[in-house]
Structure 1
């Protein structure tokens, strides 16, 4: 039996309500923070960029050369990350993807870090890498594996992870990330190299060590191996 419009209308209204709730969510931010202001004349970058007129787009807006060039690994970490994000390719803006080349000297390390805005999928092109990530509280379980050429591994968004060349030859990997601006927080740099420094009292209690140990760590030079 066919239903009348009056009989169907409540179902349509319910569907509209459910649909609006399903889509009524904030987009994921592509910057660390955005301070609200009441000044309508205050110019801001939304997700870090303005958009140009589409009629002005050229091939070079979607192009990045040189990912075949090895990164300079002559640093304390023995690694270098060459990013290809919206900062390098303006045409990536709003597309939600990026990538990077990772170069490792023998036994080089990409130290524990997180990407607050992107999941990473990594493919080993050369060498052997020991990789892993740590799950969130309360388990903090390490999930790790040794990867060889052609192997692929995924690091879920926001989780602390690392890559270590466990071979005596250079290693190369290519990573793809689910954000045009995934960001990176290197744990040691952020905790012990912040400007101004985090209070020694905070760090001694957090890490259960003495003041001298914290002061020693804060006095170190924490190298940066990436261009994010």
Structure 2
């Protein structure tokens, strides 16, 4: 980890339904810098602004005020597909990140096409197939021998794990984990999070993980943020985070 800023938000505000009776300030003057290699955990109550923050970084939400920088580039008004050269995202629903009717290998081909020139040879080489097998083999589930199996025949945990692995196929720099284990059983959830942590360290990714599971918030990552009513109310570095007890975090929620 170094001091190079990978993500910067400068006084970002996002207002939905501005000027109407149902106006909502989802983010309120948020300034934040996340450096290269940091694994940041974000907690907060429902409706606190966590997902809006994610969407603002990813580009699916454009801020009402403020600026967003990725790797020093002002991307404030760039849509999500133009930020894909930097960002990969794993969603809460394991069925959102894959194409069920395509094979495992074809899903990895699509992932490789996300940020690469659209050549028909992408994913068709022996070297690519070998790399896919090697990447999948780290799960120890035997799926590396089932590359022609339709993705839709796999369990939610298997699909979520493969979605995570697809994120490293195209030189992604930023990994957004949007409650990726919320729909999984405890064993699958543990595998997903341990795999994510290893990938973040191995590939020197900058990662953000939204979770409602305070035990996971305590166990994973090297920085902890809390958002409340659209504001960043806590920001703990690795040293401070290690000292926080689970009971402390429960008390933060009143």
RCO (CA 8 Å, sep 6+): is it higher in 1 or 2?
Answer: 2
| Structure index of larger Rg | 1
Give TM class, smaller chain.
Answer: under 0.3
Normalising to structure 2: TM-score of the pair?
A: 0.24
